[in-house]
Amino acid sequence: MRKDVVVLGAGIVGVSAAIHLQKRGRSVLLVDKRTPGLETSFGNAGLIQREGVYPYGFPHDFGALLRYALNNTIDAHYHLAALPKIAPFLFQYWMHSRPAQHKAIARLYAPLIENSVTEHMALADEAGSADLIRPTGWMKVFRSDKAMEEQLRDAEQVKRDFGVNFVGLNTKDVAEREPHLKAELKGGIHWTDPAAIFDPYNLVLSYVELFEKLGGEVAAGDAKTLEQTSDGWRLQTEKGPFEARDVVVALGPWADVVMKKLGYHFPLAVKRGYHMHYKPEGNAVLNRPTLDFERGYFLAPMAKGIRLTTGAEFADRDAPKTPVQLQRAEPIARAFFPLGERVDPEPWMGMRPCTPDMMPIIGQAPRHKNLWLTFGHAHHGMTLGPVTGRLISEMITGQPTIVDPKPYRPERFSV
C-alpha cells in the first residue's frame, strides 16, 4: 500500500501535521504504537500559551539554583543517577538561558506563539470541538509582595515587546475572579490572551476525527520499522507495509527511536511531569487555570475534575515513575483550594521533549531527502501543535509558510 506521506507520532503535533497535509491534497497515514493522544498530549496544564514568548529557561538566580540542588521542591526534581548523562544538556540549557540569549531566543520563538490560539481555533471550529477551548486566560497568583512586583515588571516587558495582554490584580481582584481560593494572597497576574483547554485528550481525538473525515488513515505501527527505499520510505503497520515519498517524524520524546537509527544525534532531553485529578469539595469552582507561583504547582479545571500538575523532573526517559512532586504539592494545594478525593487510580506521568535552546526542531533532515522533523516542543507542545503542523505541511508542499522556519531548522545543531 502507498501513501504520499506517513506521519510518525499521533500526539497533538503529529495529528496537526497530518490534518494540514491532508488538507493540502496529500494522502496521509498517521501512525502510532498507541491510541492517538495518549502520551504527552494527554497530560498537560491545558493551556494555549499565547503569552509564552519566553520559553521556560534554566534559572540563573543563585537562590533558585541552591533550592533546586536540595532536590525537595515541587517545581523541579532530579534523579541523581541521571545527572551524568544529562549534564551536557543541562549546561547548554543554562548557557542559552542567560538573559541576553534568552531574550534573543524569545524574538525567534514569538512568531510561532503569536499564531498559537488562532491556529488551534481554526482546527477546533472545523472539528466541531471549539467548546473545549475556553477564552478564560490563566492566572498566576502570589503570596509575597516581592514576587508579585518582580513578575509584574516582567509582564510589563512582555507586553511592551510582544503585545501580550494581562491585568494586574490585587487581593480583592483575585478573590472576585476565584472566590474559592483559600490562601492569603497579595495579588496576581491574569494573562487574558491565552486560552484554556477543558479536555486536552478529547480535543486531540476530535482533531483525529477531522483528519479521518478529510480522508486520512490511522494505523498502529512501530517507528523502529522505518526504512529507506529507492524512492521514499517503507513502514510496517498493523494493516501491512506502507510506502510513502515523505515521512514526518513527530515522535516527541521518542524521536531518537528513528533519528539515531538514521545516524542523527540531536541534543534532545526530557522533562518528565505528573498530574492527578481531584473532585472539588462541595460547591467549590475553579474558573480558570491558576499557578501558585511561589509553591510551583498548577491547578486547572478539567472535564475530569481539578487537575494538579507538577513542574519538571529530570530523569532518564524510561525510568520508573517517582511522583514525589505530587506528594509534596497535594497538601499545599489542598490548603490553597478545596480539593476533595482523588479521581485517578494513580498519578499520570508524561515526558516533554526539550532542546537546549528551548525551540523546536522543524524542517527537513540534513542528510536525508523527504525526511521531515517536527519535535522538541518542550512545555509548549499543546500550544504549538496546530501552528507547527501547518508550518511543516507548507514546507513539504512548497507553499508560502505561515512563519519563517529558519530559526527552527535541524541544521542549527551539529548532528
- Of 26, 73, 63, 50, the residue nearest 326 (C-alpha): 73
C-alpha cell of 145? 509582595
Q: What local confidence, expressed as pLDDT, does residue 96 receive?
A: 97
DSSP letters of 81-95? GGHHHHHHHHHHHHH
pLDDT at 395 over 90: yes
Mind listing the pLDDT tens digit for each residue in 12-48?
A: 999 999 999 999 999 999 999 999 998 889 988 999 9
Q: In the predicted model, what is the mean pLDDT of residues 364-369?
A: 96
Q: Is 15 exposed, middle or buried (0-12, 13-18, 19+ CB in 10 A)?
A: buried
Q: Could you tell me the pLDDT band of residue 273, with boundaries at 50, 70 and 90?
A: very high
| Alpha-carbon span 17 to 68, nearest angstrom | 37
pLDDT tops 80 at residue 135: yes
Cell of 121: 481555533
Q: Would you call 393 helix, strand, or coil by DSSP?
A: helix
Phi, psi of 262 (to 5 degrees): -95, 5
Q: Contact 46/198 with Cβ under 8 angstroms?
A: yes
Cα–Cα distance measured from residue 388 to residue 407, given in angstroms and rounded to the nearest whole number: 13
Average of per-residue pLDDT values in the chain: 96
Q: Is the pLDDT of residue 65 over 80?
A: no
**Domain boundaries along the sequence of the chain:** 1-57+97-136+193-267+356-415
Residue 274 neighbours by CB under 8 Å, 6+ apart: 43, 309, 310, 313, 321, 323, 325, 326, 347, 348, 349, 350
Residue 62 has pLDDT above 80, yes or no: no
Tens of pLDDT, residue by residue over 194-230, are 999 999 999 999 999 999 999 999 999 999 999 999 9
Is 90 exceeded by the pLDDT of residue 179? yes
pLDDT of residue 414: 82
Question: If pLDDT is split at 50, 70 and 90, which confidence band does 61 have?
Answer: confident
Considering only 33-47, 167-181, 200-214, 351-365, which range has the smallest mean pLDDT? 33-47
State the average pLDDT over residues 393-414. 97
How far is the C-alpha of 285 from the C-alpha of 299, rounded, in Å? 11
Tell me the C-alpha distance between 198 and 134, whole Å. 7
Q: What is the mean pLDDT of residues 170-192?
A: 98
Q: Residue 60: which pLDDT band, with cuts at 50, 70 and 90? A: confident
Where is average pLDDT lowest: 37-46, 362-371, 386-395? Answer: 37-46
pLDDT band at 69 (very low <50, low <70, confident <90, very high): confident
Q: Is the pLDDT score of 170 beyond 90?
A: yes
pLDDT value of position 1: 93
User: What is the C-alpha separation between 406 and 235, in angstroms, rounded?
Assistant: 29
Report the pLDDT value the prediction gives residue 63, as an integer from 0 to 100.
78
Task: Quickly count: other Cβ atoms within 10 Å of residue 168's Cβ.
Answer: 14
For residues 381 and 13, is the Cβ–Cβ distance under 8 A?
Answer: yes
Average pLDDT score over residue span 294-314: 97
Domain boundaries 1-57+97-136+193-267+356-415, CATH class: alpha beta
Cell of 259: 533519528
Range in 34-43, 170-179, 186-195 the model is least confident about: 34-43
| Model confidence, pTM | 0.96
